[in-house]
Amino acid sequence: MYARVARFEGVDPSTLAESVAERRRQMREAAESGTAPEGAPEQVATLMDTVKRVVELADREQGAMLVITFTETAEDMRRADEALNAMSPSGDEGQRTSRDIYEVVLDESF
């Protein structure tokens, strides 16, 4: 498994809950229908084919977020990374300040 960790700064804390709820709604609708939401960027289809899990962490006080995207294979990660790099967040979602890719070597739940 592979993880892409992207850091965003300048996130507007006053709109965070609303933007997260909208992303959650779009992801659930896409998962249920098997198709990208109407008007979604073309890269969304690639993400639907490659991404297995998304985790978003927020620091409201600092106006920062980490978005961790998981894929099964290195090739899926390459494709997902390419698609995500082509997409830009809206103004209140901050600016991506870093992006790293890791192989997941341990993932345990207790």
pLDDT tens for 16-59 read 888 888 888 888 888 888 888 777 788 888 899 999 999 999 99
Q: Quick one: CA torsion of 43, 104, 34, 95, rounded to 10 degrees?
A: -40
92 to each of 18, 42, 46, 53, how far by Cα in Å?
11, 22, 24, 23
| Tokens, residue 64 | 């920062």
In a domain, 110, yes or no: no
pTM score of the predicted model:
0.86
> Residue 9 sits in which domain range?
2-103
Q: Name the domain count of the chain.
A: 1
- The contacts of residue 49 (CB under 8 Å, 6+ apart) are 76, 79
CATH code: domain of residue 83: 3.30.70
Return the pLDDT at 90. 62
Q: pLDDT tens across 49-98, in order? A: 999 999 999 999 999 999 999 999 999 999 999 999 988 766 567 889 99
Return the pLDDT at 101. 98
In a domain, 25, yes or no: yes
In a domain, 109, yes or no: no
